[in-house]
Amino acid sequence: VTSQPPFKRIALIGLGLIGSSLARGIQQLGLAEVLVATDASAEVRARAVEIKLADVVADDNASAVADADLVIACVPVGVSGVVAESIGPHLKPGAIVSDVGSVKASVLSAMAAHLPDNVHFIPAHPVAGTENSGPDSGFAELFINRWCILTPPDGADAAAVEQLTAFWAALGANVEIMNAGHHDLVLAVTSHLPHLIAYTIVGTADELEDVTRSEVLKFSAGGFRDFTRIAASDPTMWRDVFLANRDAVLEMLGAFQEDLSKLTRAMRRGDGEALFEHFTRTRAIRRGIVSIGQDEAAADFGRKHAALTKKAE
């Protein structure tokens, strides 16, 4: 049984990790009759043609969105306003316009200002990613069993929200509806603060006087290397996230600093009981994440190990 694709024409603006993953998923599942894509970089557009990321690779945003029923801006949040400005006058009446940005309140206001009243603007954030970026880093399975948060503004069209929900569900995501401000607070703790901390500690380790960089790299399996994956994330995307969600990140940072002081004080005082109690509590939280399928149970993230063999004698 074949059925009509849910959208006649989908336009993707930006072909980084998220955009190119969407492109692959849309093509693999046949979610659009025609998939159009574009990117600000001529090099990326050329690469998109080469690896067939879309049916049509457009030269600019205006032509990309013409006649599209669903337009998704997959760009760093700092340029979402500029992108909205470039597409506003060219959108098809009734089109759904969305994004994938990690911050929602600032994106919502930056984009809404440039969009006509006759389109449905529904911001979205798929909570998924890897440390890699660019058109070659995407893969169709990225969104499976991950959450995609929609933050429709007050009075958003229910049918449009439903269509976008079905789109993300088809890609394997679980969809949650939230208001933009609450989204930014939740993500400040589950994503932005962890990135800030990881970026900090990796930088710290690299600048010490008493410990060489070579020592840091060699002995990183003691824990440090887990932080480097996050601290290898796309610098442009993350610069924009911290500038756009500053207040929520600072609020979470305040809570973190209080807790760090508490643990430091316990360490100074030799209060082993307080440390033990804290470490036992945090262990339970990982079990919770594994039990709801948001991480693997395999030890050490399932990193592979070579086989142990006797040396030749």
Residues 226-265, interacting with a copy of itself (CB under 8 A)? 226-233, 235-236, 238-240, 242-243, 246, 249-250, 252-253, 255-256, 259-260, 263-264
Contact with a copy of itself (CB under 8 A): which of 55, 60, 141, 157?
141
Total chain residues near a copy of itself (CB under 8 A): 126
Q: State the alpha helices, DSSP H only, in 142-269.
A: 158-170, 180-187, 193-206, 213-218, 224-230, 235-244, 246-269
Cβ 105 vs Cβ 243: under 8 Å: no
- Interface with a copy of itself, residue 4, by CB under 8 A: no
Residues 68-87 that bind a copy of itself (CB under 8 A): 78
How far, in Å, are 14, 55, 125, 136, 265 from residue 47 at the CA level?
Answer: 12, 13, 25, 8, 54
Residue 154 or 303 having the CB closest to a copy of itself? 303
**What residues between 13 and 32 interact with a copy of itself by CB under 8 A?**
25, 28-30
Closest separation in Å from C-beta 245 to a copy of itself: 10
Residue in 52, 66, 57, 58 with CA at minimum distance from that of residue 24: 52
Nearer to a copy of itself, 118 or 200 (CB): 200
Instruction: Report the chain's C-alpha Rg in angstroms.
Output: 22
Amino acid at 313: E
Q: How far apart are CA 64 and CA 287, in angstroms?
A: 45
Residues 82-111 that bind a copy of itself (CB under 8 A): 102
Closer residue to a copy of itself, CB minimum distance, 117 or 210: 210
List phi, psi (to 5°) of 308: -85, 120
Q: How far apart are the first and last CA of the chain?
A: 64
Residues 31-70 that bind a copy of itself (CB under 8 A): none
> If you ran DSSP here, which 8-state letter would residue 34 be given?
E
Q: Rule CB under 8 A: is residue 154 a binding residue for a copy of itself?
A: no
Quote the Cα angle for 101-102-108, to 5°: 55
When asked if residue 162 is in the footprint of a copy of itself (CB under 8 A), the reply is no
User: How long, in residues, is the chain?
Assistant: 313
Q: Is position 207 an interface residue for a copy of itself (rule: CB under 8 A)? A: yes
Residue 102 neighbours by CB distance under 10 Å: 25
**Cβ(287)–Cβ(295) below 8 Å:** no
From 40-48, 64-72, 109-117, 270-278, give the range in contact with a copy of itself by CB under 8 A: 270-278
Binds a copy of itself by CB under 8 A, chosen from 15, 171, 179, 180: 171
Q: Is position 203 an interface residue for a copy of itself (rule: CB under 8 A)?
A: yes
Shortest CB 65 distance to a copy of itself, Å: 26
User: Please, is 92 exposed, middle or buried when counting C-beta atoms within 10 Å of its C-beta (0-12, 13-18, 19+)?
Assistant: middle
281 forms part of the interface with a copy of itself (CB under 8 A): yes
Among 34, 67, 92, 130, binds a copy of itself (CB under 8 A): 130
Rounded to 5 degrees, φ, ψ at 57 are -105, 110
Q: How far is the CB of 143 from a copy of itself (least distance, A)?
A: 8
| 215 sits in which H/E element | helix 213-218
Smallest CA-to-CA distance from 27 within 10, 50, 3 is with 10
Question: Does residue 3 interact with a copy of itself by CB under 8 A?
Answer: yes
308 binds a copy of itself (CB under 8 A): yes
Q: How far is the CB of 301 from a copy of itself (least distance, A)?
A: 4
Region near a copy of itself per CB under 8 A, out of 8-16, 56-64, 65-73, 192-200 = 192-200
